[in-house]
A and B are shown apart, each in its own frame.
Chain A
């Protein structure tokens, strides 16, 4: 579960309000899609959840652990995939996975099983002993995703996870999302792909200028929308983020 209570974050000494009094709860077993125009505050919100940024005000908790007061406990149950897969290029894929397994304390048996499973799914098995430096952008994205799945976290937070993935891998990732949440875990991800959000997410939040301007299931969002015939997520999105 992820809880944000009246969270605010601004930059440039308060001149730019990136997140403004945001309250949001993502329940266990839920896939939550986070949408918004460029610069709306999506990445800032995600960085606040994973502890890369500190909120100016408000409280954020992951599985009941306050991310500011109990950062290690919160991090132990969370994994994060950034929008750009910057990873240790001089390590091999397997060395990177072992590193993540070590710092999250994943036992050898589970580690072996999960690594083999996800490497097979992402078709990385033949490249895992090569340096990450030799990977394509999509392969780097896949190794970061594999690393994020390795600890089998209670909460996954992903920033634009589908960017750079080929259609097969994107499909498999979406399947993984569903499987993760069917096991009662939580998944929070941002995306610009409306179709993905519409089809995959249990609930969707739309952030605009730091404020949550819409939040709910697809049915709830459609009910909220007062525009004529605005029934697709894209039209709802355009409606609530106008000017």
Chain B
């Protein structure tokens, strides 16, 4: 007898005792992690085929390249610690670090959860197995948690480690910090999962699934941000306060700043107090609270999964479209006149990127969301959701800086614009995104350099979108002068060429074409990480270059002009090199497709 299981919740087999269910979940998680991170392939290529060993060295070199940046961050944290300690507020930084990590997870979690829960091709293998929906979802959830540990490491670990070292923390701090770090992604991801699972149940009955997923995920992100801001404002207390009152409140008692920052997402308060408190009663109580709420939300998510998960996922990949024959006139209008090949390839890139939710969310939208995240963090750092302190302390500081030193503010804005524009996966997945369809690019009568030029234009436009969004943020929140914004945009657009070329070159050197799940082409593509490390290295090098120019006392205009000329020259040379590389590399790619 064949039994239809799953859709109504509670699939057939695999129920068994608690122990056997636990074993099943562990097996599913282990398989998920191995498949997701390609551990077997990595092992095979590194130790059997001995092929990718150069990658290990490259990654090590990349980390060395960004070391100066992390050193700078550590020194800054140490200095701020020195200022806050006498006021008993030193652990506020810890709260800020955890909060930044959890915000990142909350904001991007919507996309991660949707792609992991609903767009993994291995679901087609997992669903027919005698597993409960909750077991499949727990496996997927674990993969996302591990991904998040890696993603937020760059934001959270420098704060945790530096504070631990400068405060000469004991074992209680380190043990609790490790446990806090392990639990850190669970609450935001579980909250997001609960909402996403419910949303996808609705989406799956619609015909326009892709559009709904996109709109739904954007709305969810806006909702998450909105809730945080409202929460922060509400917690700020009633009645208008003067700046002096706000400052007095911030430093009224030990940890008051920590509490004020963490009010935007209370688990960050528990996390900070758990680590700071170590093995004291306060530390352990906060740790228990963090873990208890994490497990409770996880259990709630698992319960919901039994009811709704399969109803949202089964049939999601199926699309039914109404068929209608075009009239001769309609067909004539829709059959285009011969466009240039470059324009055709650009159009293809644009359409495929924007119509594949996973590509759009991890590429183009990052360029828009990143500036929004900055605004939120800057507002949060003010400790009052924009209350009392106006637009927030960091923004006020930047404003003050802008009037005091136009060179610094122009450079900082250019850096902000560059980061918003270029630190996304668009350029570094441009070849990988073609996947099994790369054979088309190989057989069409279009020169590789022309194809690469069209791809460059697409990636560069996404970078330019980030520059424009960041520029808008700088104009609205920092009220920067137009001349500073224009100068910063010029620098960012020049740097954007170089960073786009670097991302494309990395992806061209080792494109990931044999994916079956689109998220592997962008979200889990090592090229995206390598490109980000390379970008950070380049920006660090530019920082030292600028430092030398400032030391030489060249004057604001001259310094900016020299920097722009240098970036433009390097960008032009790198673009020419990319074209040559494309001509050389294309004929060797995709032959096994």
Give A residues with C-beta under 8 Å from B: 47, 50-54, 71-73, 75-76, 78-80, 82, 84, 86-88, 90-91, 94-95, 97-108, 111-112, 115-116, 125-131, 133-134
Contact = CB atoms under 8 A, between A and B. Distances in A.
A213 B326 CA distance: 50
A108 B352 contact: no
B352 A103 contact: no
A220 to B, nearest CB: 32
A120 to B, nearest CB: 10
21 contacts: A51-B443, A72-B445, A82-B593, A84-B436, A90-B356, A94-B335, A99-B347, A101-B338, A102-B336, A102-B344, A103-B444, A103-B445, A103-B446, A104-B444, A104-B445, A108-B335, A126-B325, A127-B321, A129-B334, A130-B323, A134-B320
Contacts of A84: 436
A103 B335 contact: no
Interface residues of B, number: 43
B331 interface: yes
B338 A102 contact: yes
Interface string B324-360: 1110100110111111110111011001100110000
B319 interface: yes
A44 B5 CA distance: 44
B439 interface: yes
A111 B442 CA distance: 22
Given A88-B437, A134-B319, A51 B335 contact: no
Contacts of A104: 444-445
A127 B524 CA distance: 34
A102 B343 contact: yes
B36 to A, nearest CB: 22
Nearest to A112: B335
A130 B325 CA distance: 11
Contacts of B339: 102
Task: Name the 8 nearest CB pairs between A and B, nearest first.
Answer: A102-B344, A130-B321, A75-B445, A86-B436, A126-B323, A90-B355, A76-B445, A134-B319
B171 interface: no
A69 B181 CA distance: 57
B331 A50 contact: no
Nearest to A74: B445
Given A98-B344, A102-B339, A104-B445, 15 more contacts: A50-B443, A52-B443, A72-B446, A78-B443, A87-B440, A88-B352, A90-B352, A91-B351, A102-B340, A103-B345, A103-B444, A116-B331, A126-B324, A130-B321, A130-B323
A134 B321 contact: yes
A131 B319 contact: yes
A105 B340 CA distance: 8
B591 interface: yes
Nearest to A82: B439
A5 to B, nearest CB: 20
A134 B208 CA distance: 12
B587 interface: yes
Interface of B: 319-321, 323-326, 328, 331-332, 334-341, 343-345, 347-348, 351-352, 355-356, 435-437, 439-440, 442-447, 587-588, 590-591, 593
Nearest to B359: A90
Contact of A115 (B324, B335, B587): B335
A106 B338 contact: yes
A72 B447 contact: yes
Nearest to B335: A112
B324 A111 contact: no
B334 A91 contact: no
A108 B337 contact: yes
A61 to B, nearest CB: 16
Given A52-B442, A54-B587, A115-B335, A91 B325 contact: no
Contacts of A105: 338, 341
A101 B444 contact: no
B444 to A, nearest CB: 4
B144 to A, nearest CB: 24
A128 B322 CA distance: 11
Contacts of B340: 102
A77 to B, nearest CB: 8
A112 B444 CA distance: 20
A67 to B, nearest CB: 10
Residue of A73, A87, A107, A129 most packed against chain B (CB within 10 A): A129
A102 B587 contact: no
A99 B348 contact: yes
Contacts of A103: 341, 344-345, 444-446
Nearest to B326: A129
B335 A98 contact: yes
